[in-house]
């Protein structure tokens, strides 16, 4: 079972920052997961919330701030004084460093109320196309099916995963319709029977956000292919 650093490595470094990516590298992680959305001036930025309030020294909605304003914010001091001055990164900067470090990236496309899924997908695709990154080093995921449908058209060779809280009754039909290779679900609501069904249908099963080592071992035994964790330290699984 693969470990994917959640929002970089959110327990050890400020989430969705280059510092978190470097921490993941030092820990030997093969994968990290990040969140992206658009600034007012259509820059693809790496941040989870629809505002900058929680994870920076700024205030306001990401969609109402332009990139130069976002770039000036401190996105590290809230986590620990040792990270003071850490910036909110652009997707282009994050992917460039990840590629240099040999780390694969799960890009979660965040859609908040009033957002245009097509617009976000187009700008994300443009960033990736400009960087000419290997397609097998990326994975798209989203709770918004419209995002995955757009990406199926824009970048069909990059794998996609449907994000859900609980497995819907029509999960199999949705995965087929969207051309997804993986189902991403909240581990708290997953049963052993469901895990076996997803695997038997030929899809990868990824679970978020797992920080308990005993639970990690249980999910590995159930056949879960990858888990997202804030802190991967200390986990060892014997296949």
Q: Could you give the residue numbers annotated as active site? A: 6, 48
In this structure, are residues 16 and 46 in contact, taking their beta carbons and an 8 Å threshold? yes
- Give me the residue label for tokens 């001091």: 77
Return the structure tokens found at 60: 């306001």
Query: Is residue 87 packed enough to be buried (19+ CB in 10 Å), middle (13-18) or exposed (0-12)?
Result: middle
SS (H, E, C) the chain: CEEEEECCCCCCCCCCCHHHHHHHHHCCCCEEEEEEEECCCCCEEECCCCECCCCCCCCCEHHHCCHHHHHCCCCCCCCCHHHCCCCCCEHHHHHHHHHHHCCEEEEEECCCCCCCHHHHHHHHHHHHHHHCCCHHHEEEEECCHHHHHHHHHHCCCCEEEEEECCCCCCHHHHHHHHCCCEEEEEHHHCCHHHHHHHHHCCCEEEEECCCCHHHHHHHHHHCCCEEEECCCCCCCCCC
Rounded-to-integer distance, Cα 183 and Cα 198, Å: 8
């Amino acid at each position: 079972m693969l470990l994917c650093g959640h929002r970089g490595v959110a327990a050890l470094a400020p989430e969705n920052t280059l510092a978190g990516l470097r921490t993941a590298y030092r820990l030997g992680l093969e994968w990290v997961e990040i969140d992206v959305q658009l600034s007012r001036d259509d820059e693809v930025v790496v941040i989870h919330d629809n505002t900058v309030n929680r994870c920076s020294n700024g205030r306001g909605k990401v969609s109402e701030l332009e990139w130069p304003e976002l770039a000036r914010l401190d996105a590290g001091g809230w986590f620990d004084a040792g990270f003071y001055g850490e910036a909110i990164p652009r997707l282009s900067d994050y992917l460039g460093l990840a590629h240099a470090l040999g780390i694969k990236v799960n890009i979660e496309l965040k859609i908040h109320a009033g957002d245009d899924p097509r617009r976000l997908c187009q700008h994300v695709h443009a960033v990736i196309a400009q960087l000419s990154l290997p397609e097998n080093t990326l994975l798209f995921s989203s709770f918004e099916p419209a995002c995955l449908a757009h990406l199926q058209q824009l970048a069909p060779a990059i794998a996609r995963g449907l994000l859900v809280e609980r497995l819907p009754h029509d999960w199999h039909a949705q995965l087929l319709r969207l051309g997804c290779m993986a189902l991403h679900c909240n581990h708290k609501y997953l049963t052993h029977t469901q895990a076996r069904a997803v695997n038997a249908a030929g899809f990868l099963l990824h679970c978020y956000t797992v920080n308990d080592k005993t639970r990690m071992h249980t999910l590995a035994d159930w056949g879960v292919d990858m888990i997202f964790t804030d802190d991967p330290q200390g986990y060892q699984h014997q296949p």
